[in-house]
Amino acid sequence: MFHPNGSSVTVDKIRLVDDSRRSLHNSHLIRTCETVAPCPFTYMAYVCDTVVLQSRGMNVPVPRVVFSTDDMRSAYWQVPTSDPEMCIVCIYSFDPDNVGPRFVENWGHNFGHTSSVSNYWSTPLLCCQAARHFLAIPVDHYCDDYATPDFPDCGAAAGLSGLHDALGLILETAKHQPPNSSNVFLGVVCDVSSAHHAFPFVEFQPSSGRTDGHARPRFC
């Protein structure tokens, strides 16, 4: 990648965004399935509520709940389209000070295209459904981010990882948060450590850096 002055630019990650105002891609999208409601950051509260209600209904102690989180690496780029020749976007950059034009190629879906979300969304949804049906793991997702409820030492995180391995999909190891009673999901610290108490509750607050310069809200 090159700076407009002609010097090379080294970056770790390029995220191309196109609002499709000129190409009109978004206005011609034909949906093949219903849009799925996204998983909220409060998902773990619903899980804990179900655990408490079922435990009390069976007159057994409420077990301690933990959860892990995962992120699918290079999400849009892992999923091919039906026509591989349509998977490239070539960015053309021209500046009078350059010796000739500069090109940057992007093999995969663009951010900003509605079709990117629609095409990709079915992949993590399939993974969630398979984990629930075959492994009894009540995982949910928001795009490429997973929240995986579990009980201590029950192996739900390993099951989700193994499922992705079997499908040839890669989870980002560096972003994995192992099972714990408090983890960050979708930019929010979710603390379920009090869900098994006599008066259970789940606490949420913004993660570090999200509210710098502002009051930090906390709610249960």
**Taking phi first (over 0 means left), then psi (-120 to 50 degrees means alpha), and beta for anything else, what does residue 216 get?**
beta
Residue 94 lies in a domain: no
No. of helices (H) and no. of strands (E), the chain = 4, 9
Q: Cβ(1)–Cβ(93) under 8 Å?
A: no
> Could you say which DSSP state residue 190 is in?
E
Q: Cβ(157)–Cβ(150) under 8 Å?
A: yes
> Could you say which DSSP state residue 92 is in?
E
Residue 119 lies in a domain: yes
d(CA 113, CA 17): 8
d(CA 202, CA 65): 11
Structural domain boundaries enclosing 192: 40-81+115-205
- Sequence-ordered list of residues with C-beta below 8 angstroms from that of 98, at least 6 positions apart, any chain: 2, 4, 5, 6
Among the ranges given (6-20, 73-87, 144-158, 205-219), the one the predictor scored with the smallest mean pLDDT: 6-20
* 17: pLDDT strictly greater than 70: no
Residue 137 lies in a domain: yes
pLDDT at 99: 67
- Nearest partner of 39 among 144, 189, 134, 135, judged by Cα: 144
Domain count, the chain: 1
Confidence of residue 118 (pLDDT cuts 50, 70, 90): confident
Residue 15 lies in a domain: no
0.85 surpassed by pTM: no
Which residue bears the tokens 């209904």? Answer: 57
Residue 140 lies in a domain: yes
H-helix or E-strand spanning residue 45: helix 43-57
d(CA 98, CA 3): 9
Residue 136 lies in a domain: yes
* 35: pLDDT strictly greater than 70: no
d(CA 215, CA 68): 27
Confidence of residue 194 (pLDDT cuts 50, 70, 90): very high
Could you give the 3-state DSSP secondary structure of residue 186? Answer: coil
Residue 109 lies in a domain: no
Residue 48 lies in a domain: yes
CATH number at residue 132: 3.30.70.2630
Q: Cβ(149)–Cβ(156) under 8 Å?
A: yes
Tell me the mean pLDDT in the region 138-162. 93
